[in-house]
């Protein structure tokens, strides 16, 4: 599909990455967020990407310059949405916020604009009732650190036209993602259906006093032969996002274990230790302790 303009709703952890990736891939891209403070915070995140792109995927100065030229940020919804070919929603993982965000688009959205949700746990059928372009709506779920973990999980509602799925697949490829179609709706998609139970088990071990984050991460890294443990992943996800997810698990299960986890994580969030985003979470950034080769040796 021809993409003239991409709009990302919400310049948080994932929204700012999706926007930069789209701009880096040559598409004019606008981030819309709700306040000057949120736009400022998105700009700070974006300022850190060129070095990471250079380091991780050998981005050239010319590509970085092009990405910067393609990207803008605004708090003006009308100017952002007008003329958009693709709108990617990356607002907080709360159904009420998703609903008010989608409803606010209706006056400005082109009928054929593709509307994609990056929700991690909500399925398209849960949102389609309040979405303006129902036939052009589906989910495209990205992984954190999008430029290296470049998958786009694609999920759609039962009545979604195949043209919408084809266009979304094409858009995913245009921004250098590997499309992963999911044949039936499932909360958590593929990746989080595997990842979140692992994260929850690690958090539960910690919250119930069985082992500390560092011991858990060391164990996982050495045993599984991987370079990051569950608490390292949590820092990347953002501990504020993790709190929202764990609260949702509690609401859905009423299992007190999730409340214990929320309490423990909230101590970090209240101290502004949100993870990579604020420079400290379970580890210190930009050089987290677990990347030191000595970390797993002692
Ligand atoms: P975040 O809290 O970092 O960012 C959310 C952003 O949305 C903030 O900048 C906030 O100001 C903005 N916002 C709030 N209301 C808005 C509105 N009405 N319109 C526009 N912007 C608004 O959250 P996040 O971690 O980036 O998560 C966003 C979405 O992406 C969630 O659905 C989440 O499930 C999903 N997701 C997150 C991750 C992750 O690792 N953090 C990974 C994949 C998907």
pLDDT tens readout for residues 55-69: 999 999 999 999 999
Query: Residues of the chain whose pLDDT is less than 50?
Result: none
Instruction: Give the per-residue pLDDT at 188.
Output: 86
Instruction: Give the per-residue pLDDT at 106.
Output: 96
Q: Whose CA is nearest to atom 8 of ligand 1?
A: 12
32 close to ligand 1 (CB < 6 Angstrom):
yes
Instruction: Give the per-residue pLDDT at 298.
Output: 77
233 close to ligand 1 (CB < 6 Angstrom):
no
Q: For residue 286, is the peptide bond before it cis, meaning its omega torsion is within 30 degrees of 0?
A: yes
Model confidence pLDDT, tens digit, residues 153-205: 999 999 999 999 999 999 999 999 999 999 999 988 999 899 999 999 999 99
90 close to ligand 1 (CB < 6 Angstrom):
yes
Question: Ligand 1 mean position to 15 CA, how many Å?
Answer: 6
Q: Whose CA is nearest to atom 14 of ligand 1?
A: 91
Instruction: Give the per-residue pLDDT at 248.
Output: 86
Q: Give the bridge partners for 88, in sequence order.
A: 8, 116
Atom of ligand 1 nearest to the CA of 120: 34
Contact 76, 7 (CB under 8 A): no
Instruction: Give the per-residue pLDDT at 201.
Output: 98
């Amino acid at each position: 599909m021809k993409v003239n303009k991409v709009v990302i709703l919400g310049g948080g952890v994932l929204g700012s990455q999706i926007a930069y990736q789209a701009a880096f891939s040559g598409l004019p891209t606008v981030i819309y967020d709700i306040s000057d403070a949120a736009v400022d915070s998105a700009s700070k995140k974006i300022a850190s990407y060129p070095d990471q792109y250079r380091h991780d995927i050998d981005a050239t100065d010319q590509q970085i310059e092009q990405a910067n030229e393609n990207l803008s940020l605004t708090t003006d919804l009308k100017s952002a949405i007008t003329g958009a070919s693709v709108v990617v929603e990356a607002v907080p993982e709360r159904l009420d916020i998703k609903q008010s965000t989608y409803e606010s688009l209706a006056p400005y959205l082109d009928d054929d604009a593709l509307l994609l949700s990056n929700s991690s746990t909500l399925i398209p059928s849960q949102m389609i009732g309040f979405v303006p372009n129902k036939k052009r709506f589906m989910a495209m779920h990205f992984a954190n650190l999008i430029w290296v973990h470049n998958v786009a999980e694609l999920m759609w509602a039962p009545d979604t036209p195949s043209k919408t799925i084809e266009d979304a697949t094409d858009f995913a490829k245009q921004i250098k993602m590997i499309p992963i179609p999911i044949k039936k709706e499932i909360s958590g998609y593929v990746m989080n259906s595997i990842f979140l139970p692992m994260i929850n088990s690690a958090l539960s071990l910690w919250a119930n006093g069985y082992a500390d984050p560092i011991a858990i991460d060391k164990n996982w890294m050495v045993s599984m032969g991987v370079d990051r443990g569950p608490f390292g992943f949590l820092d990347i996800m953002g501990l504020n996002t993790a709190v929202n997810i764990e609260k949702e698990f509690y609401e859905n299960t009423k299992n007190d274990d999730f409340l214990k986890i929320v309490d423990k994580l909230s101590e970090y969030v209240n101290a502004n230790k949100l993870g990579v985003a604020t420079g400290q979470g379970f580890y210190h950034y930009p050089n987290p302790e677990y990347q030191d080769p000595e970390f797993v040796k002692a």
